[in-house]
Chain A
C-alpha cells in the first residue's frame, strides 16, 4: 500500500504543535490588546458636536471656571450640561452675529436645547457621582485630562473598570488639595504619595476594601 502522507508531513505535524501554541497565545494577546485599544474604548477620539465649542478657548484663554457651566459638579452625581441661557449670558453681547453660533441662537429662539453629544458615557450598570469625587480631592483633570488643551473634547482614559480601580485601589496616588481641584494643569508633586496619604486621612476617604467593594459602583 502506498504511503498516504508525504515524508514532509512528519515535520509539518511537529511544526504545527509549536505554531498552534504560538497562534493561540498570539490570538489571546491580540484580543486583550484590541480590547484596550483606543479604537475600542474611544479614547483620544475627538467627538463632533453641533456647535464647535472649545474648552481650550473658554477655559484656557479666557479663564472661565469649570463650575460656571458645570454648576452641579459639587452637589450632584452629574456635573451638568449648561442650558443655552448660560451661553447667551455672554453671546447676546459678544460674537452675537457669528455664523458659528447660529445653532446656539436658534436653540435660544426656539427654546429647544442643543443636542450635545456625550463624550464620557459610562455603562448604565455603573453608579458614578461627580460630587463625591470632587469633595474627596479628585480633580477634574485626573479623569478628563487637561481641558485647556482640548479644543474638542475627547476621553483621555479607557473608562474600563481596571482604570477606575487603579485609583480606587490606591487613591493616595491621585488626590490633590481642595484648592487645586479645578486647576486643569495640576501635576502631582514629587512627594505625592506622602501628601496623598495625608489628604486621604483629612478627607476621610474610605479604605480600599470599601472603595473596591462591588456595591460601591454597581448598586
Chain B
C-alpha cells in the first residue's frame, strides 16, 4: 500500500511498514474513508468472549427460536415433497418434452452458485492476504457447505430413482460398464463431490483452534467432550500452529481452482450441448462471475440481519459490507456484460436458430421473466455505485434480494427459453412448474436456513483466533522482538557478529 495512507497512532508501525497487512488490515485504522475491519477498543479477551458467547450461552434467544420454528416448518415442506416424489415418481415435476430440464436443475445451479462466495472469501482472499475476509470467512464457508448440500439434493432427486445414485460413480459394477466420461454430467458428479468434500475439510480445519477454545470454555461434560473430539487434541503449541498454518494454506491452494472449476463444469452441462442459447463459449466465465455474484448477494442477505440481531457491528464493520457490495457490483457487471454479449452474438452469428432463440427470450412467452432478470441482475445493482446506497442496510438488503431472485431467473431463462422452442415447430411446447417443483425449492430454503441457525447456535460463526490476530496486541513490535533476541544472545554469550543460531533481526 502507498505511503500516503494515514497510519494509526502507533508510530512504530510507520517505522517498520508491514507489507503483508495493508489495506484495512489493522484495528482502529481508517482508510479511504471506510471504517476498519475491527472496531477499536477490543482486546483478546473481549473478542473471544463476544464470539464464544453467541454459542456458549445458557438461554437460546427468543428470536432464534422463532426463526428456527419458521425455517423448521418450511423444512417439512422439503421432507413432504421428497416423500411424495419417492412415492409417486418423477412425474410430480413439471418437466416433460420438450422441456426436460427445469426447476430441479435451475435450483441446483442456483444453490451451487451461492456456495462460491464462501470459497472465494476463504481461499482466494486468504491467498491475496485480504484481512477483511477474517470476519466473514467462517460464516461464508458454512454457507457454502449448506448451499452445496441443498444443491446436491436436486441431481439425486431429479433422477427419479435416488437409491441408484451410486451408479454415477465409477466402480466395478455388475453392469460391466463405466460412466460416460465424455459427458459433462459425469464431470459434474466429480466437480460437485470434490467441491463438497474440500469445502467441508477446509471449514473443519479452520474450526480446529476455535473448537479448542470452546472445549476449554464449556462447563458441561457433553459439549466439552464433543468440542474436544472436534479439536483433535489441540493445545496451541508452536508446532500445532506451524502445522495448522501449513495445512490451511495448502487447503486454500486446493480450494482456489475450485472457485473457477466447479461452476465452469456446471456451465459445461449446457455449453457442451448444441442447443441454441446453451452452446456458447462465454458460458464458463459468465457462470463463474454469476456464482460469485449470487454468493455475495446471499452473504449480504444473511449477514445484514445477523449482524444487527447479535450486535456484531464491531466485527462485521461497514468495511465488510462495502467490500461485499463492491464485489457484487463488479461481478454483476461481468454478468450483465454476459447478457449483452449473448444478445449481440445471437445477432452477429447470423444463425437463424440463435436469433430465433434470442427473439423468443426477449419477446416470447417468457419475456416477462427475461426483462425481470435484466432488471434484477443488470439494472438494480447499478445503485451500488453510490456509497450512500451501500451504507443503507435496508437498501443493500433489498438489492441483495433482487440479485437472489435475478440469479434464479437467469437459470430459468437459460433452461426454459432454450428448450421450449425446439428446432422443429412440431415439438414446441410450454413449461409450467408444478406445485411440487416449487414446494421442493422452498423446502430447500428452509433446510438451508435451519442449517445456518444450528451453525449460529452451536459453533463460532466468526473465527476467534483469526480475529485476534487483527488486534494491535497481536502485533509483534519489531524493536521488542529485537530486544528479546538480543537478551537471549547475551544470556548465551553470543555476539551479534557471530551470527549465532538466531536469525538476524529487524530488517
Q: Do A and B come from one complex?
A: yes
| A residues with CB within 8 A of B | 1, 4-5, 9-10, 13, 28, 32, 35-36, 158, 160-166
Determine if B228 and A4 form an interchain contact, defined as CB atoms under 8 angstroms apart. yes
Q: Per a CB cutoff under 8 Å, which of B176, B224, B233 touches A161?
A: B176
Is B232's beta carbon under 8 Å from chain A?
Answer: yes
B228 nearest CB neighbor, chain A only: A4
Is B241's beta carbon under 8 Å from chain A?
Answer: no
With contacts A13-B232, A13-B233 known, is A4 near B215, CB below 8 A? yes
Bound together, the chains give a CA A160 to CA B174 distance in angstroms of 6
Residues in A neighbouring B173, C-beta threshold 8 A: 162
Bound together, the chains give a CA A36 to CA B174 distance in angstroms of 7
Question: Can you identify 20 A-B contacts, CB atoms within 8 angstroms?
Answer: A1-B216, A4-B215, A4-B224, A4-B225, A5-B228, A5-B233, A10-B233, A13-B232, A13-B233, A32-B171, A32-B172, A36-B174, A160-B175, A161-B175, A161-B176, A161-B177, A162-B173, A162-B175, A162-B176, A166-B176
Residues in A neighbouring B172, C-beta threshold 8 A: 32
Query: 9 new A-B pairs (CB below 8 Å) besides A36-B174, A160-B175, A161-B176?
Result: A28-B171, A35-B174, A161-B175, A162-B173, A162-B174, A163-B176, A165-B175, A165-B177, A166-B176
Residue from B171, B173, B175, B176 whose CB has the most chain A CB atoms within 10 Å: B176
Counting from the closest, the 4 A-B pairs by CB-CB distance are A162-B176, A160-B174, A161-B175, A165-B176
A214 nearest CB neighbor, chain B only: B177
Bound together, the chains give a CA A179 to CA B171 distance in angstroms of 41
Residues in B neighbouring A165, C-beta threshold 8 A: 175-177
B175 nearest CB neighbor, chain A only: A161
Residues in A neighbouring B233, C-beta threshold 8 A: 5, 9-10, 13
Residues in B neighbouring A10, C-beta threshold 8 A: 233
Which of chain B's residues 207-238 have a Cβ closer than 8 Å to chain A? 215-216, 224-225, 228, 232-233
Bound together, the chains give a CA A36 to CA B173 distance in angstroms of 9
The B interface, classified by DSSP as helix, strand, loop or mixed, is loop
Bound together, the chains give a CA A161 to CA B228 distance in angstroms of 49
B176 nearest CB neighbor, chain A only: A162
Residue from A1, A4, A161, A162 whose CB has the most chain B CB atoms within 10 Å: A4
Residues in B neighbouring A166, C-beta threshold 8 A: 176
* Contact count band on B: 10 to 19
> A31 to chain B: closest CB distance in Å?
9
Bound together, the chains give a CA A158 to CA B173 distance in angstroms of 13
Residues in B neighbouring A4, C-beta threshold 8 A: 215, 224-225, 228
Bound together, the chains give a CA A1 to CA B176 distance in angstroms of 58
> A160 to chain B: closest CB distance in Å?
4
Residues in B neighbouring A164, C-beta threshold 8 A: 176
> B225 to chain A: closest CB distance in Å?
6
> B431 to chain A: closest CB distance in Å?
27
> A27 to chain B: closest CB distance in Å?
12
B232 nearest CB neighbor, chain A only: A13
B224 nearest CB neighbor, chain A only: A4
Chain B, residues 272-311, CB within 8 Å of chain A (1/0): the string is: 0000000000000000000000000000000000000000
Residues in A neighbouring B216, C-beta threshold 8 A: 1
Bound together, the chains give a CA A30 to CA B225 distance in angstroms of 34
Residues in B neighbouring A5, C-beta threshold 8 A: 228, 233
Bound together, the chains give a CA A166 to CA B215 distance in angstroms of 58
Chain B, residues 138-178, CB within 8 Å of chain A (1/0): the string is: 00000000000000000000000000000000011111110
> B1 to chain A: closest CB distance in Å?
43
Bound together, the chains give a CA A10 to CA B232 distance in angstroms of 9
Residues in A neighbouring B215, C-beta threshold 8 A: 4
Bound together, the chains give a CA A1 to CA B224 distance in angstroms of 12
Residues in B neighbouring A35, C-beta threshold 8 A: 174
Bound together, the chains give a CA A34 to CA B153 distance in angstroms of 28
Bound together, the chains give a CA A166 to CA B225 distance in angstroms of 54
Bound together, the chains give a CA A77 to CA B300 distance in angstroms of 64
Bound together, the chains give a CA A13 to CA B175 distance in angstroms of 38
Bound together, the chains give a CA A23 to CA B228 distance in angstroms of 24
Bound together, the chains give a CA A9 to CA B228 distance in angstroms of 11
Chain B, residues 401-432, CB within 8 Å of chain A (1/0): the string is: 00000000000000000000000000000000
Residues in B neighbouring A160, C-beta threshold 8 A: 174-176
> A3 to chain B: closest CB distance in Å?
9
Bound together, the chains give a CA A35 to CA B172 distance in angstroms of 11
> B165 to chain A: closest CB distance in Å?
15
> B375 to chain A: closest CB distance in Å?
45
Bound together, the chains give a CA A163 to CA B173 distance in angstroms of 11
Residues in B neighbouring A9, C-beta threshold 8 A: 233
> A18 to chain B: closest CB distance in Å?
16
Bound together, the chains give a CA A202 to CA B84 distance in angstroms of 55
> B473 to chain A: closest CB distance in Å?
24
Residues in A neighbouring B228, C-beta threshold 8 A: 4-5
